[in-house]
Amino acid sequence: MDGNRRFAKELGLSIEAGHIFGKEKIEEVLDWCLALGIRVLTVYAFSTENFKRSEKEIKTLMMLFKEELEQAKTDSRIHQNKIRIRILGHLELLPKDIQQSAQYIMGMTKSYKTYHLNIALAYGGREEIIQAIQHMASDIKKGKLKIKNISQKTVSKYLYTTGLPDPDLILRTSGEERVSNFLLWQLAYSELYFSDVYWPALQKREFLRAIRTYQNRKRRFGK
């Protein structure tokens, strides 16, 4: 979800306002996914690199994350549609109140299986892989895992996204054409779509265009 700050700047608004518009766009996109029957949505909300931003901007983002997690507790869409929410990332790097809210909503929706909403917070693809290696090494040391038994499926089980399918489509807004440390293991065969539109300005027609482009591609998976 890229382009909140540039969107705000072009409209003469504050960076904080751009992030507020960005948060509201998540609500819209979730509705589009539900209407289209898209079962798994993962949004890249805050990377480990984003901690390098100004204290004021980070404070605003954390406030919005807390607000979103609190709203999810009573959001009828979440419970009526049985949407399981997962927070992916280094949760220990986040403020304690957000950690608590994240754990609460994940526990509350753990039994839901119809839809999946994954929110990548304090997330980094390389860091995820490093943590997976560390956990595998620990299990090898404990005798729970044998080196010869390590396969792609084994590695996937140690990632934040364990139990979820790899993404079919990666959509990035704002005109940037890179994945920026997002789901590096999981996107090995994902289709990529880059839009020039800033995230807060994303319209349903552009979202549908991305899906239509995906549908017209032939996925060979190396075959």
Question: Active-site residue numbers?
Answer: 2, 50
| 22, amino acid identity | G
Contact 1, 171 (CB under 8 A): no
CB count in 10 Å sphere of residue 35: 9
d(CA 188, CA 183): 9
Name the packing angle between helices 15-36 and 204-215 (round to 10°): 50
Among 133, 64, 126, which residue's Cα sits nearest to residue 89? 126
The radius of gyration of the chain's CA atoms, rounded to the nearest angstrom, is 18
d(CA 85, CA 116): 6
How far apart, in Å, are the Cα atoms of 48 and each of 158, 168, 192?
Answer: 19, 24, 22
Burial of 160 (0-12, 13-18, 19+ CB in 10 A): buried
108 membership: H or E segment, kind and range = helix 96-108
d(CA 185, CA 141): 24
